[in-house]
Amino acid sequence: MFEAISEKFDGLFSKIRGSAKLTEDNISGALKGIRMALLEADVNYKVVKTFIKSVEERALGKDVVKKVTPGQQFIKIVHDEMVELLGGDGVRLKLSGSTPVPIMMVGLMGSGKTTSAGKLGLYLKGRGKRTLLVPADTRRPAAKEQLVSLGGRIGVEVFDGGGVDDPVRICVDAYSYAVKNAVGSVIMDTAGRLHVDDELMEELERIKGAVNPGEILLVADAMSGQDAVNVAEKFHETLGLTGIMLTKLDGDARGGAAISIKAVSGAPIKFVGVGENPEDIIPFEPERMAGRILGMGDVVTLVEKAQEVVDQKSAKELEKKIKKGSFTLDDFLDQIKSIKKMGAIEGLVGMIPGMKGMAGSVNFREAEDELRKVEAIINSMTRKERENHLIVNGSRRKRIAKGSGTRVEDVNRLLKRYATVKKMMKKISKGGFKNLGKGGLPFQM
**What digits encode the pLDDT tens for the residues 378-437?**
999 999 998 889 999 999 999 999 999 999 999 998 898 888 877 777 665 555 444 444
Question: Is the pLDDT assigned to residue 240 strictly greater than 70?
Answer: yes
Omega before residue 213 within 30° of 0, cis: no
Q: Give the Cα separation of 397 and 380 in Å (integer).
A: 10
Q: Coil, helix or strand for 102?
A: strand
Q: Report, as an integer, the average pLDDT of 279-304.
A: 74
CATH superfamily of 3-86: SRP54, nucleotide-binding domain (1.20.120.140)
Share of the chain above pLDDT 90, in %: 44
Determine the average pLDDT of the residues in 341-364: 53
pLDDT at 444: 43
For residue 403, the model assigns a pLDDT of 93
| Ranges of CATH 1.10.260.30 domains, the chain | 304-435
The more confident residue out of 149 and 347 is: 149
319 vs 208, residue with greater confidence: 208
More reliable by pLDDT, 58 or 339: 58
Spatial CB neighbours of 437, under 8 Å, sequence gap ≥ 6 = 427
pLDDT value of position 349: 53
Of 119, 116, 138, 247, the C-alpha closest to 192 is 138
pLDDT score of 7 more than 60: yes
Higher pLDDT, 201 or 303: 201
| Residue 106 confidence (pLDDT) | 96
DSSP β-ladder status, 269-273 and 281-283: antiparallel
> Is 50 exceeded by the pLDDT of residue 67?
no
Residue 134 forms beta bridges with which residues?
188
**Residue at 289: amino acid letter:** M
Written as one letter, the residue type at 300 is: V
User: Chain-wide mean pLDDT for the chain?
Assistant: 82
Mean pLDDT, to the nearest integer, of 143-154?
Answer: 94
Picking from 52-56, 114-118, 295-299, 418-422, which range would have the lowest pLDDT averaged per residue? 295-299
Strand order through the sheet with 185-190: 157-158, 131-136, 185-190, 101-106, 215-221, 243-247, 269-273, 281-283
Query: pLDDT confidence of 442, banded at 50, 70, 90?
Result: very low
pLDDT at 129 over 80: yes
Residues 117-130: what's their mean pLDDT? 93
Q: Above 70 in pLDDT, residue 39?
A: yes
pTM: 0.67
pLDDT of 73 reads 78
pLDDT band at 355 (very low <50, low <70, confident <90, very high): very low
| Confidence at 264, pLDDT banded by 50, 70, 90 | very high
Provide the pLDDT confidence category of residue 440 given band limits of 50, 70 and 90: very low
The CATH number of 101-291 is which of 3.40.1390.30, 3.20.20.70, 3.40.50.300, 1.10.1740.10?
A: 3.40.50.300
Alpha carbons within 13 angstroms on the beta-carbon side of residue 151 total 22
Domain with CATH 1.20.120.140 in the chain: 3-86
**Which of 26-30, 51-55, 362-366 has the weakest average pLDDT?**
362-366
294-335 pLDDT, tens digit per residue, is 876 544 455 555 555 556 666 667 667 766 667 788 888 877
Q: What values do phi and psi take at 176, rounded to 5? A: -60, -40
pLDDT of residue 187: 97
* Residue 82, phi then psi, degrees to nearest 5: -65, -40
pLDDT attached to residue 309: 55
Instruction: Give the mean pLDDT of 214-220.
Output: 95
* Count of other CB atoms within 10 angstroms of residue 237: 12
Under CATH, what is the fold of the domain 304-435?
A: 434 Repressor (Amino-terminal Domain) (1.10.260)
* Backbone torsions φ then ψ of 221, nearest 5 degrees: -80, 115
At residue 218, does pLDDT exceed 50?
yes
7-11, 12-16, 57-61, 296-300: which range is least confident on average? 296-300
